[in-house]
Structure 1
Amino acid sequence: MIVFRYLSREVLLTLSAVSAVLLVIIMSGRFIKYLAQAAQGMLDPGVLFMIMGFRLPGFLQLILPLGLFLGILLAYGRLYLESEMTVLSATGMSQQRLLGMTMVPALLVALLVAWLSLVLNPLGVARVAQIINQQDALTEFDTLVPGRFQNLRDGSRVTYTEQLSDDRAHLAGVFISEKRLSQDKSKDRGISVLVAEKGRQEVQADGNRYLILENGYRYDGNPGQANYRAIKYDTYGVLLPKPEVSEEITDREAIPTADLFNHAGLRERAELQWRLSLPLLVFIVTLMAVPLSRVNPRQGRFLKLLPAILLYMAYLTILIAGRSALEKGKMPIALGLWPVHGLFLLIGIGLMYWEPLRLKLASRRAEVARG
């Protein structure tokens, strides 16, 4: 029991450290992407951390299996390097018993990954989709930031305001530049520029929103051409387009797992196979990591780290490719992703018994040579 607690603690501590580092790296990259969208006026900066929180289960369901795999390699590699595993082997610790002890923390990780994959991640993806839909319901000026040029309406409009009231109803120092297209959007009719000292938003009884600009100029056309014109105005009203809001969530990752069992579509069945594969992935990578962690103290514990990571990446890549093949109907849906798991299960078993078999054959050859 003491040895079991010691090994489990080493694995779980290394797992936590590795997973934390991977999580920070992945979340930083995703946060930068959302931050860029907020800078462009596509997202409200106030919802960035909320989106990241709901996306956390999706990150963890992929990070934890890799963290466990690397945790076993690093923790047991250190024990081999410091000859602690040699002492344990001398007291009767076999590879099979070591694997059995390692499967206990692996079971805890697998249960956590199953909870994330089957329950939390679909809820998080659905909540993120709802937030994005709510962002689409905002008008262009709800995400406007004073003192910054922002691309709005798919880059066809650039808006700037020096000042913006707290209720976002009054603006000062307004600049709006918009491309003018023909009705069929096939011909560029130049650029329309609006400049105003101040502006305000008005909501009519029918729900339409207007931007009322005061004391400014409107410039239409391309400078230098005959159709270019400049108009001074005291009051100018602009109808703000109503946002197109979709309440329907089409992302299959947001479908509850219980509902996937009742779907007959290839994409939904493939998604179910993927969610069930992640907990199983934990046990198979554990089976591969235990023999791969066995190193010679003279060689160092990082000798097998790169090949082990490549093996893990091959496993995950083939799973993703299999998922894509299931969605496109190139693989029988009844067969699923089980052949991929079976292949790497055989690889894990081969790694488990290869080293003892090699040592046994070498011992017999030595005996024959002496005889």
Structure 2
Amino acid sequence: MIVFRYLSREVLVTLSAVSAVLLVITMSGRFVKFLAQAASGQLDPGSLFLIMGFRLPGFLQLILPLGLFLGILLAYGRLYLESEMTVLSATGMSQQRLLGMTMVPALLVALLVAWISLSLAPKGALQFQLLLNQQDAMTEFDTLVPGRFQELNDGSRVTYTEQLSDDRANLGGVFISEKRFGVNKKDRGISVLVAEKGRQEVQKDGNRFLILENGYRYDGSPGMADYRAIKYDTYGVMLPKPEISEEVTDRDAMTTSSLFGNPELKAVAELQWRLSLPLLVFIVTLMAVPLSRVNPRQGRFLKLLPAILLYMAYLTMLISARGSLEKGNLSPALGMWWVHGLFLAIGLGLLYWEPLRLKLASRRTVKEMARG
């Protein structure tokens, strides 16, 4: 029991440290991406941390299996390097018994990953999609920042204002440039609106209007000299009415209960993917235990790179099988299970290869001594 607690503590502590580092690296990259979208006006800056919170379970369900895999390699590698495993082996600690002890913390991680992948991650993905739908329904007044040119509609519209009131209803020093797309060449070009000030009006029926005052409108095509300039005292334009979509289209946001019995290939692939992540934990544990065995002369990092490549091959093949299943290139009965079967065989081979090799070597030595 003392040995079991010691090994479990070493694995779980290393798992926590590795997972924390991987989580920080992953979330930092995504945060920079969302921050760039917020800087361009595509997202509300105030919702960035909320978005990262919704995406956190999706990150954890992939990071925890890798963290456990690396945690076993690093923790047991240190024990082999410091000859602690040699002492344990001398007291009767076999690879099979070591694997059995390691499976206990692996079971805890698998249960956590199962809860995240089957329940928590879909809920987070659903809230993330609904939040993005709300962001898409926001008008340019909701994301406009004074003193910055902001692109909208994939760059076809550029808006700028020098001043913006706290309630986002009044603007000062307005510039709006919009590309015109028409069938005829004369209908294509650029419209530019400049105004001393402007305001947003919302009617009772929900329609929104932009009212500009004391400005000019310029219409024309770049490179042509037939620009038209119109001076106006008041200019009004109807803004698109925001519509918040409640439709869930992302497969990651579908509840697990709705995936059961769903004959669609995308639903079958998503369900098998969610079930594969907890199963992944046990198989990578099976591979990590024999891969952690190193010679003190070789160092603890000798097998780290091949082990990571093996893990990446496992995950890559799962993702590839998921895509093939969605496209109908794989039968649902075969699905992703063949990948797990393949790496289960690899794990068993790694576990029993070294004892088998030593047994064969000892027999060969006995035969040579008998001949001598």
Q: Give the TM-score category using the shorter length.
A: over 0.9
What is residue 96 of structure 2 aligned with on the other side?
Answer: 96
TM-score by length of 1: 0.97
What is residue 204 of structure 1 aligned with on the other side?
Answer: 203
Answer whether contact 1:181 1:187 (CA < 8 A) is retained: no
Task: Measure, in 1, the Cα distance between the counterparts of 2:321 and 2:297.
Answer: 40
Q: Give how far 1:260 is off.
A: 0.7
Note the 1:111-122 alignment, pairs <5 A.
111-122=111-122
* 1:136-173, Cα deviation, whole Å (9 max, x unpaired): 22112111111111101221001111111111001111
TM-score by length of 2: 0.96
What is residue 348 of structure 2 aligned with on the other side?
Answer: 349
Answer whether contact 1:179 1:188 (CA < 8 A) is retained: no
Task: Measure, in 1, the Cα distance between the counterparts of 2:218 and 2:327.
Answer: 52
Answer whether contact 2:55 2:124 (CA < 8 A) is retained: yes
Task: Measure, in 2, the Cα distance between the counterparts of 1:224 and 1:263.
Answer: 57
What is residue 152 of structure 1 aligned with on the other side?
Answer: 152
Equivalent pairs, count: 370
CA pair 205-348 structure 1, distance change in 2 beyond 3 A: same
Say whether residues 1:291 and 2:287 are aligned partners.
no
Say whether residues 1:30 and 2:30 are aligned partners.
yes
For 1:124, the aligned partner's letter is G
RMSD over aligned Cα atoms: 1.4
Say whether residues 1:235 and 2:210 are aligned partners.
no
Answer whether contact 1:122 1:256 (CA < 8 A) is retained: yes
Q: Report the secondary structure of 1:49's partner residue.
A: helix
What is residue 61 of structure 1 aligned with on the other side?
Answer: 61
- Structure 2: gaps of 5 or more residues: none
Q: Give how far 1:335 is off.
A: 2.1
For 2:95, the aligned partner's letter is Q
Which region of structure 1 is more displaced relative to structure 2, 305-314 or 172-181? 172-181
Note the 1:10-89 alignment, pairs <5 A.
10-89=10-89
What is residue 138 of structure 1 aligned with on the other side?
Answer: 138
Q: Give how far 1:245 is off.
A: 3.7
CA pair 224-342 structure 1, distance change in 2 beyond 3 A: closer
Which region of structure 1 is more displaced relative to structure 2, 290-299 or 162-171? 162-171
- Structure 1: gaps of 5 or more residues: none
Task: Measure, in 2, the Cα distance between the counterparts of 1:186 and 1:247.
Answer: 39
Q: Give how far 1:258 is off.
A: 1.1
For 1:46, the aligned partner's letter is G
Note the 1:265-344 alignment, pairs <5 A.
265-344=264-343
What is residue 128 of structure 1 aligned with on the other side?
Answer: 128
Answer whether contact 2:134 2:245 (CA < 8 A) is retained: no
For 1:324, the aligned partner's letter is G
What is residue 6 of structure 2 aligned with on the other side?
Answer: 6
Say whether residues 1:217 and 2:221 are aligned partners.
no
What is residue 361 of structure 1 aligned with on the other side?
Answer: 360
Which region of structure 1 is more displaced relative to structure 2, 214-223 or 125-134? 214-223
Which region of structure 1 is more displaced relative to structure 2, 331-340 or 65-74? 331-340
Task: Measure, in 2, the Cα distance between the counterparts of 1:147 and 1:53.
Answer: 30
Q: Report the secondary structure of 1:175's partner residue.
A: strand
Identical-residue share of aligned pairs (%): 81
